Amino acid sequence: MTFVLLTLLLSVPLLALCGSPRALVVWHGLGDSYQSPGMVQFFDEVKKIHSGIFIHSVYIDEDLDNDRKAGFVYGNVNTQLELVAEQLASVPELKDGFDAMGFSQGGQFLRAYVERYNSPPVHNLITFGSQHMGVSDIPACRRYDFLCQAARRAAKGAVYSRWAQQNIISAQYYRDPTNLPAYLSSNHFLPYINNELPEARNETYKRQFTSLNKLILMIFTEDQTVVPKESAWFGAEVVEDNSWLSQRPFSLFRTEKTIVPMRQQRIYTEDWIGLKELDERSAIVFDSCKGEHMHMGDCWKPIVEKFTGGLD
């Protein structure tokens, strides 16, 4: 009888014994919506890997077209984060925590959620091509997306104006390496979640960020949308003011882009948000997808298998 019982137990998947897979929250990227055909197809593929998993797709507006627009124009990231925090807290299936996956800017926004709210808490955070150290160029638009193109022109023309910083989503993570003072004084989102301002440094952000079990940072090897692409790994272009780096720039002239990797930046060396702490306990995973921005192929599958559903 004991042998028969043991045989039966071994034949049952571990998650079946422990209950349902851990829930998953996904935040789409710029130009997409929470229930677009591509997103729905992705959810179906995830459910093939983790049978019975609950997936919540973050939305700013339940209307698909309005939700897509909210990701680029007429939006304030800080306001949207507050809305999303209330949204996640209202979903019963998420009350015990969840894994989180963000595509492009959605990954950066989920990191901000962890730092500012994290209730319910995130277990593993996975970001694909996310601009954690900002971008030095406004992301490009689809060829015939004229609304996006108009917003992009407006943002590039006056990226640090009060209007752009309150209304153009991508302007709120624009980090100009040639004009860091303007970025620090005008941007009311990215400098704060990166704890770049000594007078506004928030220890809660660090404490909640380091509560993550794993931080998985995915970069697209040929990414031309996120500039520089290394922002996905907390890398950034060298800036002229060398007080913001842990080593002196190689040249006073920006004839070509020099990328400073995560471990050589003060956000890491002085551990402003907890990157160093996470790294020293081997909680940061660096991985890549071959190809252009959000051309994921099958590179996401081993990540979903390992870091979602309760396996790690």
Task: Give me the catalytic one of 132, 176, 223, 231.
Answer: 223
Would residue 13 count as lying in a domain? Answer: no
Per-residue pLDDT of the chain (312 residues; tens, 9 = 90+): 444 444 434 444 444 445 789 999 999 998 899 999 999 999 999 999 999 999 999 999 999 999 998 987 778 999 999 999 999 999 999 999 999 999 999 999 999 999 999 999 999 999 999 999 999 876 667 677 777 777 666 666 688 999 889 998 989 999 988 889 999 999 999 999 999 999 999 999 999 999 999 999 999 999 989 999 999 999 999 986 544 444 434 333 444 679 999 999 999 999 999 999 999 999 999 999 999 999 999 999 999 999 999 866
Tokens 């990226």 appear where? Answer: 159
- In angstroms, the CA 17 to CA 13 distance is 7
Apex 48 CA angle, 86 and 10, nearest 5: 105
- In angstroms, the CA 172 to CA 168 distance is 7
Task: Give me the catalytic one of 56, 123, 132, 293.
Answer: 293
pLDDT at residue 155, rounded to an integer: 62
Active site residue 57: no
Dihedral angle, C-alpha 36, 42, 44, 46, nearest 10 °? -150
- Domain of residue 198, CATH code: 3.40.50.1820
Is the sign of the CA dihedral 303, 307, 308, 309 positive or negative?
positive
Is residue 88 a contact partner of residue 109, using CB atoms and an 8 Å limit? no
Total structural domains within the chain: 1
- In angstroms, the CA 158 to CA 179 distance is 13
Would residue 1 count as lying in a domain? Answer: no
Return the bridge partners of 237, or none: 259
Would residue 17 count as lying in a domain? Answer: no
Is residue 287 a contact partner of residue 216, using CB atoms and an 8 Å limit? yes
Is residue 179 a contact partner of residue 188, using CB atoms and an 8 Å limit? no
Would residue 282 count as lying in a domain? Answer: yes
Would residue 7 count as lying in a domain? Answer: no
Is residue 135 a contact partner of residue 171, using CB atoms and an 8 Å limit? no
Of 227, 286, 241, 238, which Cα lies nearest the Cα of 265? 238
Active site residue 56: no
The 10 Å CB-count burial string (b at 16+, else e) for 20-52 is ebbbbbbbbbbbbbbebeebeebbeebeeebee
Active site residue 104: yes
pLDDT at residue 146, rounded to an integer: 73
Would residue 3 count as lying in a domain? Answer: no
Of 253, 242, 216, which Cα lies nearest the Cα of 130? 216
Query: What is the extent of the structural domain holding 105?
Result: 22-307
Task: Give me the catalytic one of 33, 104, 130, 170.
Answer: 104
